Chains A and B, each alone.
Chain A
Amino acid sequence: MTQPAANCPNCGAKIVFQWSSSVQTVCAYCKSILVRTDVDLKRVGQVADLPPDSSPIQLNTEGIYRNKAFVVIGRILYEYEQGGWNEWHAMMSDGTSAWLSDAQDEYAVSFAARAANLPPEGKLAVGQQYTWNNERYTLSVITPANYRGVEGELPFQYWDKTRVTFADLRSESGKFATLDYSDAEPALYLGEAVEFDDLKLKNLRQFEGW
């Protein structure tokens, strides 16, 4: 796996991409949001100070999902009515990218999926049912959220967001789906709720007194 290196156009700090397909990263030093172009890195913005974070996961946290090792290389932080939550961007050992969401210490692993005819945001209602990949999902909650910041590497550009609507769906067999209305076209993520212990996480944040 290539690890293209470059320098931050803002502060000159060395920028190392852990995942070759990353489109965006944040300079760990000056917090500039950097987008990869064909030739270099373009600074598109600056991450405001992130709120104190309570997730036990952090960049470089390692774990195992379905017998594949992964390492956390980035995240998107959202806030909603019930607090904040992280969508941790994980690089799987097979080169694919996954999302490890951590909302109130409830964990789920999901992958970007393609499906036709995703419902538009205005048509969402709790209790609706959709079938994707032969699995029937029931919409359990619609969450209006605020984009709060990003960190590390992401597989797409994601920085000029404000309000974002999410719809969470669950299937009877424990599968989990999220509809992400960040962009004009809804994005679908399919995955499942996971147990913290099953991920065998390493490099976790330390909590004082615990």
Chain B
Amino acid sequence: MSAGPPSPPRPGPQQQPATPQVKALDCPKCGAAIVLRTFGKAETVVCDSCHSILDAQDPKLKILQTFQAAVGEAPPLIPLGRRGKLRGVDYEVIGFQRRSTEVEGIRYIWHEYVLFNPYKGFRYLTEYHGHWNDVSPCKMLPTPVLSVPPKASYLGETYKHFQTCTAMTGFVVGEFPWQVRVGETAEVTDFVSPPRVLSSEKSENEVTWSIGEYTYGSEVWKAFNLPGDPPQAMGVYENQPAPVHESVSGVWAAFAAFALALLVLMIGFAVMISGNKEVFRASYAVDRNTFKGETSFVTDVFELGDRTCNVEVETSTDLNNNWIYLNYALINQDTGQAWDFGREVSYYYGRDSDGPWTEGSRNDSVVVPSVPPGHYYLRIEPEPPQGFQHIGYSVRVVRDVSVFSIYGLAFLALLLPAAALTWRRLNFERLRWAESDHPMVTTGSSEDD
């Protein structure tokens, strides 16, 4: 081909139809201004004044449906045309619909906001009683998991069936990327894996899937710079994350780790320290015939190893329906340091209409913690009751006793938070699933609230 006729200015490929703009048109029914914000992407647009649903693809905005809005229909919490930043992307609110479902005679109402960005497309915000979800269409097809109740798998995560209901559109305003109609129904199925919810919407010839993430009202308010406070969230929503940050399994894992460490510590001490070593033993008695009021005496000296240890002072008596009070002092012969403690030992028994009974014990034990090494003796001052005859008692001093109660306390201290967290979580889950098709069955204890 030879050189042709002089060519017109080189047609740049950029020569395109005029850039679409925000269009302002009039409602063919009532004449109110209709603002189009999606550069031709919307299918339908709803007149805010006369509630005509118009064909947004038709230059004349053909009327597709008109509906009567209920008196006192609450306006959208986020006004149409408002822009906000969600996950770093600017979105404009372009449409709003109220949907509802009826379950066992109770009508549940929620709201859906259509958001638009000319590059990123459509996104949705749903709101139910102050609970928000940031929803976008699924890029992939979720897989059904055969189980009872059913589950669905999406991007490696398993979602539990929460509810299937028929959603009816009751009020619409603004633009929609689909043919929206008031009165239209769709079967909506929600699968949850907090904080996400996987939803399918089944209409006559299409099943669409969307993925939502629980969003706090405060985040929505901040994103769209809305005045005042978001409505208070009521109850527990289907995909609301549990309020406690730590996972229950994490707390139990920590508990198990600490408990194991405790056990190792306990066994370690028991093995390393050849415990329960008797360092002193002697027997005494107070007798009515020899007792002269002031009867304080000291024991022989005994040695407490080469390191600080605990010391158990055991008292064994032959009490019969009687008591004795013993003033003890553990005294370091080298330093004069003394540990004073009094022990009352009493033992009673008998028989009444309910049979035999006993009260108290013939034996007593007390642990003195952290006693430094050194030479020690005991000063003992027995105080027998009036009218006593003869009370025999023996004193035994043992070092390095294993104080299991300390381990027990530590164990309890570990167990309590884990148990409390579990209880809270179970209660939260019970509230969550109470609204579902599969409420949790509480067995045994009846929790009436």
Contacts and interface: CB of A to CB of B under 8 A. Distances in A.
Interface of A: 6-7, 11-14, 27-29, 40, 49-54, 56, 58-60, 81-84, 104-106, 126, 138, 140-142, 152, 170-174, 193, 195-196, 204-210
A106 to B, nearest CB: 6
A7 B4 contact: yes
A54 B118 contact: yes
A105 B122 contact: yes
A86 B122 CA distance: 17
A100 B106 CA distance: 46
A50 B139 CA distance: 29
Interface of B: 1, 4-8, 10-22, 38-43, 57, 90, 117-122, 137, 139-141, 143, 177-179, 205-207
Nearest to B23: A52
A13 B11 contact: yes
Contact of A11 (B8, B57, B178): B8
A26 to B, nearest CB: 11
> For chain B, what secondary structure do more than half of its interface residues adopt (helix, strand, loop), or is it mixed?
loop
Contacts of A126: 205-207
A193 B140 contact: yes
Given A7-B4, A83-B177, A170 B140 contact: yes
Contact of B118 (A81, A170, A174, A207): A207
A29 B43 CA distance: 31
Contacts of B117: 105, 210
A207 B16 CA distance: 13
Nearest to B121: A105
Contacts of B21: 208-209
Contacts of B141: 138, 140, 170-172, 174
Given A40-B1, A54-B38, A172-B141, A83 B20 contact: no
27 contacts: A6-B1, A7-B5, A14-B7, A28-B12, A49-B17, A53-B16, A53-B17, A54-B20, A56-B119, A82-B43, A82-B177, A104-B41, A105-B117, A105-B119, A140-B206, A140-B207, A141-B205, A141-B207, A172-B141, A173-B140, A195-B139, A196-B119, A204-B119, A207-B19, A207-B119, A209-B21, A210-B90
Given A106-B121, A126-B206, 7 more contacts: A28-B11, A52-B40, A56-B118, A84-B40, A105-B120, A141-B206, A196-B121
A128 to B, nearest CB: 13
A37 to B, nearest CB: 12
B137 A52 contact: no
A50 B17 contact: yes
A28 B13 contact: yes
Nearest to B153: A172
Nearest to A203: B14
A207 B39 contact: yes
B16 A205 contact: yes
A102 to B, nearest CB: 9
A108 to B, nearest CB: 9
Q: Which 5 A-B pairs have the closest CB atoms?
A: A105-B121, A174-B140, A7-B4, A54-B39, A170-B141
A172 B119 CA distance: 26
Contact of B177 (A59, A104, A171): A104
